[in-house]
Structure 1
Amino acid sequence: MTKRIGFIGAGMMGSGICRSLLRAGYPVTVVAHRNRDPIEELVKLGATEAKSTTELAAGADVIMLCVDRAETVEAVIAGLAGGLRAGQYVIDITTGKPDTSTKLAASLKANGVTYVDAPVTGAPVHAAAGQLASMVGASPAVFETLKPVLDAYSTQALLFGSTGAGITAKLLNNFVTQSSCQIIMQAYRAARRNGVDWEKLYNTMLRGAARSGSLERIIGAALQGNYKGQQFSIANACKDIDYAGALVAADPDGARIQAAVLGALQRPVQAGLGDRFVSEMLDPEVERQAS
């Protein structure tokens, strides 16, 4: 029997995941988002809109969350508490905290509800194309039960271990990605100050070990005058690096790297620029506003 999906958080990434679920034949119910555009588009594609998260949960076999942070996940789950029933699954796509996942899993299990952390890597375009990679924390049996759902929007879904393992893997992935983004932008700021031609430097890096997806998205776009190549908000990057701190704190070098990257991201957030994309930190005007 096809599982009915209730999706909370159909924003830039979540709406793409919903599109892939609908394309795979899953009945999807969504709930009002602060931006109604993706909700209305999904309804046109066949999704149903619920008036509340409680109504959404009542008609779902699987409730999926794709929100901004661990604290929001806790608030949403608390709001759903009266509407959940034994036998349901909660798939949390949010990049949150491992300890929050284990705590929620234990509390939901007491009511017969199974919680799974399954954050993803990829961009909104990959979500809509069903080309994300899912990192899953669950039991092997639960993973196999839910894998068809995950496969609807993922070209790779890997079980990393029990609850919290998926989010741990995602935070480590983002620690590498966001640290790399800052190093790339520092290098090109230095190039700007020292009169080094960006295009020549970029073409050189493409032919060596410095080549990366982040380099191509950030600098490849910037060379065309577009500072929005890395479509991930500064606020979310800041949150992820903050959460990753607990994972690298035991290593002094790791802690220093984390602190430096976090500091670089906190400055634009504190200047009210958290909704801008990470790659926009290379824009001289954004750099000026954040200083």
Structure 2
Amino acid sequence: MSEKPVIGFIGVGFMGHGMAKNLRLAGYQLWVRGRSNRTPVESLLALGAREAENPRQMAEMCDIIHLCLSNSPQIEAVLRGPDGILAGARPGLVVIDTSTANPGSTEALAAELAAVGGHFVDAPLGGTPVQAEAGQLSAMVGCEPEVFARIRPVIDCWAARVSHIGPVGSGHKMKLVMNFISLSYGALYSEAVVLGAKVGISPQTIHEVIGPSRMGCGFFETFMGYVVERNRDAHKFSIANAAKDMRYLNDMASDADMVNLMAGAAKHYYTHAIATGRGDDYVPMLSDIVGALNGVDMDAEVKKGRK
């Protein structure tokens, strides 16, 4: 790998655009590949990036390829397709998967890339699209120590906090544990604000009391940014992605022969939301869905709390 590797980036959505932008601003030659939304792609092209025709071409041109996709089937298709990364991989190619993915799939893809001389790294993210644009994400990295040393300067372009968790797959396992906590918070907060409304406590009062207490946190603040302020964009993480992550988490627990009642309960709220056509909504909107299950109009409750 040269001193300044050529970088590829597949998936320039909410998180990927900011990450790719920061790599380009750091002086890296950048190849990108987006999906149907051309706006982030055009933004990066205006900064001097080039657009790859397919993942195979990107693998032929790049030293390091980032993936920031929605799920393991998408990642598998990008690597294994007829014009996928594996079809164009050269010895020494590094693929950094920043998605939240199934660790079993990650380990299988790592073995396939290793067979052609490449290295697969899982580096899922902590943070928000705003932090991605600012280069202030966190990364949980799974790979061998020598590979980590080679890619650390690149990851530092988009992450303010980098943790080397262990071998390939461990980063995705850590991210699922993290999302188990946060998405269970989402279900818990939803129940709490609806219960409050049922017994005469406004969402504003819950925010006022819990926010500054030891139980307050950044997740609570962005969640309540929707509940109280009705700001749809306060916490832009879709219920569909939440359900996927909880499904992967429950699969991981099953593989580990673990009883996981809490994760199972939280998962069902998100799968219910998808079953009722709300998968494209963001996680804090689960509070409205839980409200409807209990005969509570949360929008009306917030309006009452403003009087």
SS where residue 282 of structure 1 aligns? Answer: helix
Cα displacement (A) at 1:44: 1.1
Matching residue of 1:78: 80
Aligned mates of 1:119, 1:167 — CA distance in 2? 6
Q: CA deviation at 1:287?
A: 4.4
Match 1:121 to one of 109, 112, 126: 126
**RMSD between aligned alpha carbons?**
1.8
1:219 corresponding residue in structure 2: 224
Shift of 1:131: 0.5
* Letter of the 2:35 counterpart: H
Residue of structure 1 in register with 2:282 after alignment: 277
Question: Tell me, what secondary structure is at the counterpart of 1:223?
Answer: helix
Measure, in 2, the Cα distance between the counterparts of 1:183 and 1:117: 29
1:225 Cα shift?
2.6
Q: Is the 8 A contact 1:280 1:286 kept in 2?
A: no
- Alpha-carbon shift at residue 200 of structure 1 (Å): 2.0
Report whether the alignment pairs 1:95 with 2:119: no
Matches within 5 A, 1:45-194: 45-79=47-81, 80=84, 81-194=86-199
Question: Could you say which residue in structure 2 is the equivalent of 1:19?
Answer: 21
Q: Percent identity?
A: 34
Q: Could you tell me which residue of structure 2 aligns to residue 260 of structure 1?
A: 265
Q: Is 2:191–2:290's contact at 8 Å kept on the other side of the alignment?
A: no
- Name the aligned partner's letter for residue 239 of structure 2: I
SS in 1 for 2:224: helix
Cα deviation, residue 118, structure 1: 0.7
Counterpart amino acid of 1:6? G
TM-score by length of 1: 0.94
Post-superposition Cα deviations, 1:58-116, rounded to whole Å, max 9, x if no partner, equal 21111111111112111110022221111111111111111111111111111001111
3-state SS of paired residue (1:157): strand
Tell me the CA shift for residue 203 of structure 1: 1.1
Q: What residue is the counterpart of 1:244 in the other structure?
A: 249
Distance 1:40 1:129 in 2: 19
Instruction: Quote how far apart the aligned CAs of 1:248 are.
Output: 3.3
Give distance in 2, aligned partners of 1:287 and 1:153: 40
Paired with 2:291 and 2:274, the residues of 1 have a C-alpha distance of 11
Q: How many residues align?
A: 287
* Per-residue Cα deviation, 1:102-144 (whole angstroms, up to 9, x for no partner): 1111111110011111111101111111101000111111001
Aligned to 2:234, the other structure's residue is in SS state: coil
Give secondary structure in 2 for the equivalent of 1:166.
helix
Q: Letter of the 2:213 partner, please give it.
A: G
TM-superposition CA deviations, 1:220-267 (whole Å, max 9, x none): 343223244221010111010110113334443xx1111111100001
Instruction: Please list, as runs of the form range in 1=range in 2, the aligned pairs for 1:2-17 lying within 5 A after superposition.
Output: 2-17=4-19
Aligned to 1:33: 35
- Structure 1, 85-94 or 52-61: larger mean CA deviation: 52-61
- In 1, Cα distance between equivalents of 2:291 and 2:69: 26
The Cα offsets for residues 252-285 of structure 1, whole Å up to 9 and x where unpaired, read as 3xx1111111100001112222111111222369
Structure 1 range deviating more: 21-30 or 200-209? 200-209
Query: CA 1:245 to 1:56, structure 2 compared with 1: closer, same or farther past 3 Å?
Result: same
Give the SS at the match of 1:283.
helix
Q: Is the 8 A contact 1:102 1:164 kept in 2?
A: yes
The Cα of 1:286 is off from its aligned counterpart by 9.0
Kindly provide the amino acid, as one letter, of the partner of residue 115 in structure 2. Answer: A
Aligned mates of 1:275, 1:23 — CA distance in 2: 32
Between 1:115-124 and 1:206-215, the stretch displaced more is 206-215
Provide the C-alpha distance between the structure 2 equivalents of 1:251 and 1:83, rounded to a whole number of angstroms: 40
TM-score between the two structures when normalised by the length of structure 2: 0.89
Superposed displacement of residue 198, structure 1: 2.0
CA deviation string 1:205-233 (max 9, x = no partner): 12322201121111134322324422101
On the 8 A contact 2:227/2:285 being kept in 1, the answer is no
**1:233 corresponding residue in structure 2:** 238
Deviation of 1:47 after TM superposition, in Å, equals 1.3
